[in-house]
Amino acid sequence: MDARHHGIGMTSQRTRARMVERLREQGITDEMVLAVMNTIPRHLFVEEALASRAYEDVSLPINFGQTISSPWIVARMTELLRGSHSLNKVLEIGTGCGYQTAVLAKLAKEVYSLERIGPLLTRTRIRLRELRITNISLKHADGLLGLPEMGPFDAIIMTAVTTQIPELLLEQLTVGGRMVYPKGISKQFLCVIEHTPQGFIETILDEVKFVPILSGVVNK
């Protein structure tokens, strides 16, 4: 394993520990989420030129007009998705660079992740394979359609903003399950949808900023 995997200086284990302490100070209380984020080398998910900034609380560009979410956003969305319960089968819409995928993989039995940009997914597939993360299934697909053939899911996470959730996705959320996603136009907010026996309940939470979700797939 090369020096970049081990991390030196601003990409070391000590830097990760400082990130986790900051997340605690910012109100993240799920210790399982914090423990997982303390183990994953976030600097491997960004371009080498940006590696020294990987543990700052900012989103960073990852090419193809996409970004890696800030550590707080990843922690907050994961904490909300878990809701202090263990995760079984998770659907992630928007694989991106794979950092959120890696976090979920350490907390869930199975993670299915969809990415519409083919070249981005190819890079991410290699990265996750190098990190020996095996309980994930990545697919080049339109995330707005979900993955009905593998559903239902007890948790769905969407990492791009939408104005409303398609019925097709809600149908893939099991009773008792929850979905976390950003919603809005000029202002965006993190939302949680819980699928109760009586129907769907939506809770609107923190103000956030995400790139918009797009339909279709991109091959090159």
For residue range 190-216, list pLDDT tens digits in order.
Answer: 999 999 999 999 999 999 998 888 888
Burial of 122-141, coded b for 16+ CB within 10 Å and e otherwise, reads: eebbebbeebebeebebebb
Write down the domain spans for the chain: 59-208
Query: If you ran DSSP here, which 8-state letter would residue 53 be given?
Result: G
What confidence tens digit (pLDDT) does each residue in 107-162 have?
Answer: 999 999 999 999 999 999 999 999 999 999 999 999 999 999 999 999 999 999 99
Q: Beta strand pairing status for 136-140 and 108-115?
A: parallel
Return the active site residues.
69
Tens digit of each residue's pLDDT (9 = 90 or more) over 19-47: 999 999 999 999 999 999 999 999 999 98
User: Is CATH 3.40.50.150 the right assignment for the domain spanning 59-208?
Assistant: yes
- Locate the DSSP E strands across 94-198: 108-115, 136-140, 153-158, 173-184, 188-196
> Model pTM?
0.92
DSSP strand pairing (188-196 vs 173-184): antiparallel
